[in-house]
């Protein structure tokens, strides 16, 4: 497992796509949310309504609630793009033939990819919280209150769970042998989650549960509804590793 982990980490750490996506995820989301703080003193009722939780309840609590809404969509896109690249790239650049006839099983290589993805996902989630807090301070929210800890933990939890609901993308990219197909799957998950929220099925629709949970401060989604993310991700992990082990280069 260690050679595969080292290989996958080396590729991830040196890839321009991953570096760019990480920067957009961490700095981009933090700047997007914090820049909205500049408009909270508006006298325009229409604009104030659009700012939602940034106005009411406002402050750090409203700021992180807004960050949760942005993270649920933007992080899903970012995580999905990287995951799709990780599992589709060898098919696109032809290096997949080199991953056969090795003393390391392809299922091990797939598991190494997912492990490296999980570490990167967790690291990006923590970095995003740090960037959000720093940007909040810089944009005038004042000192970080101690009672912000639950909301901050929810922000990290949301990002990690968003990474988990993106895992089926790895399976799609593997089956289709295509990075683009994986990105298509991310967009599909994003659209399905939004439709579920609008139709009121959000809590029980696993793909939208983490976003609803964080944005509502934990009020609108139960623990059981949230935990359903885990079997979904586990199933995707199993399907992806089995698909890699049974892979044939027949097209």
Partner 1 sequence: MAELAIEARSVERMFDETAGVRGVDIDVEQGEVHALVGLNGAGKSTLMRLLLGMLRPRSGSVRILGRSIAETDWGSVGHLVEYPLAYGELTVRRNLELGARLHRIPARRIPAVVENIVRDFALEPSVNRPSRKLSLGNRQRLGLASALQHDPRVIVLDEPTNALDPNGVILLRERLLASVARGAGVLVSSHHLDEVARIANRISVLNHGRIIGSLDPKGIDIERSFFELVHDDDGARVSAPGSGECAA
Least distance between partner 1 and beta carbon 3 (Å): 4
Least distance between partner 1 and beta carbon 209 (Å): 35
Least distance between partner 1 and beta carbon 91 (Å): 11
Binder to partner 1 among 95, 134, 149, 238 (CB under 8 A)?
95
Q: Do the Cβ atoms of 88 and 179 come closer than 8 Å?
A: yes
Question: CA Rg, the chain, in Å?
Answer: 19
Nearest to 36 by CA among 63, 11, 9, 15: 63
Binder to partner 1 among 45, 46, 103, 143 (CB under 8 A)?
103
CA 166 – CA 82 distance, rounded (Å): 10
Residue 242, interface with partner 1 (CB under 8 A)? no
Least distance between partner 1 and beta carbon 104 (Å): 6
Exposed/middle/buried for 48, CB within 10 Å: 0-12, 13-18, 19+? middle
Binder to partner 1 among 46, 98, 142, 223 (CB under 8 A)?
98
Contact residues for 113 (Cβ-Cβ < 8 A; gap 6+) = 8, 86, 87, 170
Q: Do the Cβ atoms of 139 and 37 come closer than 8 Å?
A: yes
State the Cα angle at 90 between 230 and 185, rounded to 5°: 45
* Positions in 59-88 near partner 1 (CB under 8 A): none
Residue 16, interface with partner 1 (CB under 8 A)? yes
Binder to partner 1 among 46, 94, 143, 200 (CB under 8 A)?
94
Residue 23, interface with partner 1 (CB under 8 A)? no
Q: Which residues bind partner 1 (CB under 8 A)?
A: 3-4, 6-7, 10-11, 14-16, 93-104, 248-250
């Amino acid at each position: 497992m260690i050679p595969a982990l080292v290989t996958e980490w080396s590729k991830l750490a040196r890839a321009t796509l991953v570096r760019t996506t990480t920067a957009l995820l961490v700095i981009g989301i933090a700047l997007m949310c914090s820049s909205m703080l500049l408009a909270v003193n508006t006298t325009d009722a229409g604009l104030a309504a659009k700012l939602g939780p940034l106005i009411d309840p406002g402050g750090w609590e409203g700021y992180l609630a807004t960050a949760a809404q942005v993270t649920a969509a933007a992080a899903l896109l970012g995580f999905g793009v990287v995951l799709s690249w990780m599992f589709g790239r060898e098919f696109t650049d032809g290096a997949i033939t080199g991953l056969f006839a090795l003393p390391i099983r392809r299922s091990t290589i797939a598991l190494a990819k997912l492990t490296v993805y999980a570490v990167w996902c967790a690291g990006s989630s923590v970095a995003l919280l740090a960037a959000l807090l720093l940007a909040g301070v810089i944009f005038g929210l004042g000192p970080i209150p101690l009672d912000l800890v639950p909301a901050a933990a929810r922000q990290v939890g949301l990002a990690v769970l968003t990474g988990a609901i993106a895992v089926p993308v790895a399976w799609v990219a593997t089956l289709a042998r295509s990075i683009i197909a994986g990105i298509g799957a991310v967009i599909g998950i994003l659209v399905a989650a939004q439709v579920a929220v609008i139709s009121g099925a959000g809590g029980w629709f696993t793909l939208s549960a983490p976003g609803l949970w964080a944005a509502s401060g934990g009020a609108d989604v139960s623990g059981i509804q949230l935990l359903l993310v885990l079997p979904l991700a586990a199933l995707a992990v199993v399907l992806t590793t089995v698909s890699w082990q049974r892979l044939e280069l027949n097209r």
